[in-house]
Amino acid sequence: MTEPVVPPACATLDAQLTSHGGALDEADETKLDTARIQQAVDRCPAGHAVILQSNDGRNAFLTAPLSLRSGVTLVVGAGVTLFASRDPRLYDKQPGSCGLIDHRGRGCNALIQVESAPNAGVMGPGTIDGRGGSNLLGQSVSWWQLARQAQVENANQECPQLIRAIGSDNFTLYNVTIVNSPNFHVYYGRGNGFTAWGVIINTPATARNSDGIDPSSSTNVTITHCFIHAGDDDVAIKAGSDGPATHMTIAHNHFYSGHGMSIGSETNGGASAIRVSDLTIDGADNGLRIKSNASRGGLVEDVEYSDVCIRDTKLPIFMDTHYTASVGPDTNKIPMFRGIVMRDVHIEGKGNITLDGFDAEHRLGLTFDGVTLDPVVNFPIEAAHADITLGPGAVNFMPGGDDVHVSGRAQDAGGGSACKDKFVPMAK
């Protein structure tokens, strides 16, 4: 991949609002810029960009949902914040369907929608703020509080995603900061060609279901040079009923809070040809995780993790074929994870490691090549129904458990820190 380039402008819009300390004045909450942004996007020829720029001290735009068109890029300029409206009615898919708790789900439109619009994009260097922690207009509850309440009630929170691209080949996110999403920050589905380059996602660890970037049932995906601090999966590759997820590269990224580098939980469409390299995970709940269960499982194979550094992460390696958070009524979609390779992966601090094959017929197939735990005594390992290969690079632990077969031997990895200077502060 080559670094994306901002297209030439077809229209430049001046900010008419001012952000004070990352917030708008209450009197400005109804002064929407939606119509003039959407009109500029609709009139923009393919291969060009609508640019939002600051003007004479004014640095903010306020919008309801927007729809991008084929070949059109929305650029949030330097020092500019594009704020999401806090009025749930503006996101309704049906009257009154957003900003509540129910058992239906999917009642909200995303803030930026890209549907069957190839070659579109969203670029920075400005910021998109979903304001998930701020109260909805006229209410005393925020999007994130709705999500927590729905968890308690075992129901669905109707909260909007920030960017949702469906069936839109060659979609590009570049050099943009995305914060405080009410739900997923970025979802990309059923497409061929998606690049996220230099994206900063920064949302509190307590924001439920605030996934960073989720490519689903797509191919030719690149996520690179990104910094992600989220309340759920930092990246989650999904492969559900819409088809397989394949040929994906996740390289040169830094993850902080969140649920790490995930595949699943939908794997019934099949996930393969996935490469994760040059990744740091610092202070997360999960590290390298593949998750599924008998209601949404399928084959996950040809997955390689290389040059990965993990520290202070509760579950640094989590191969989970009995994932409990999303069990459906079907029980005949059995997950199988095989051809999984972890090469030059180094884990510091303490945590638990799970290597879980589904049963004796649906086994976990995993190779550890140059994988070290520091110190090894801080990482208890639970394994079952697994075929594990150690080497040729040094592996300083020996997995064991029910129906676990290991080839190769544990050996001292030598001194020195393979992760020296790898961990860096969260980008701003």
Alpha carbon 402 to its chain centroid, in Å, reads 33
CB 76, CB 124: distance < 8 Å: yes
Separation of alpha carbons 154 and 413, rounded Å = 46
Q: Count Cα atoms within 13 angstroms, Cβ side, for 202.
A: 13
DSSP of 212-265, one letter per residue?
Answer: SEEEES-EEEEEES-EEE-SS-SEEEB--TT--EEEEEEEEEEE-SSS-EEE-S
DSSP structure class, residue 358: S
Query: How many CA within 13 A on the CB side of residue 215?
Result: 29
Q: Where do the structural domains in the chain lie, given as residue ranges?
A: 9-232
Answer whether CATH 3.40.50.2300 is correct for domain 9-232.
no
Sign of CA dihedral 201, 190, 318, 344: negative
User: 179: how many CB neighbours lie within 10 A of its CB?
Assistant: 22
**Pairing relation of β-strands 299-311 and 48-53?**
unpaired
pLDDT of residue 1: 80
pLDDT block averages, 10 residues each, the chain of length 428: 96 97 94 98 98 97 98 98 98 96 90 98 98 96 96 92 98 98 98 98 96 98 98 98 97 98 97 98 98 96 98 98 82 95 97 98 98 96 98 96 97 81 95
Predicted TM-score (pTM) of this structure = 0.97
Query: Is there a contact between 261 and 276 (Cβ–Cβ < 8 Å)?
Result: yes
Cβ-contact 258, 231 below 8 angstroms: yes
pLDDT for the residue 199:
98
Residue 106: predicted pLDDT: 85
Taking the C-alpha atoms of residue 393 and residue 278, their distance in angstroms, rounded to an integer, is: 17
Catalytic positions, written as ranges: 232, 259
> What are the backbone angles phi and psi of residue 150, rounded to the nearest 5°?
-65, -35
Question: What pLDDT is recorded for position 331?
Answer: 81
Is 268 in contact with 296 (CB distance < 8 Å)? yes
Paired strand residues for 312: none
Q: Which residue is listed with tokens 């099949």?
A: 270
Enumerate residues 6+ apart whose C-beta is below 8 A from 2: none
Are the CB atoms for 367 and 340 separated by under 8 Å?
Answer: yes
CB-neighbour burial class of residue 273 (10 A; exposed 0-12, middle 13-18, buried 19+): middle
- Tell whether omega for the bond before 265 is within 30 degrees of 0, i.e. cis: yes
DSSP annotation of 153: H
| DSSP character string of 93-113 | SSTT-SSSEESS---B--SEE
Cα–Cα dist 100/145, whole Å? 10
pLDDT in the model for residue 105: 80
Nearest C-alpha neighbor of 250 from the set 284, 213, 224: 224
Pairwise CA distance, residues 404 & 360, whole Å: 10
Contact (CB, 8 A) for 287 and 317: yes
With CA atoms as reference, report the closest residue to 388 among 414, 372, 373, 410: 410
Exposed (0-12), middle (13-18) or buried (19+): which is 410, by Cβ within 10 Å? middle
Helix (H, G, I), strand (E, B) or coil at 26: helix
User: Using only C-alpha atoms, what is the Rg of the chain?
Assistant: 22
Residue 234 to residues 51, 289, 371: CA-CA distances in angstroms? Answer: 28, 11, 22
Structure confidence at residue 324 (pLDDT): 85
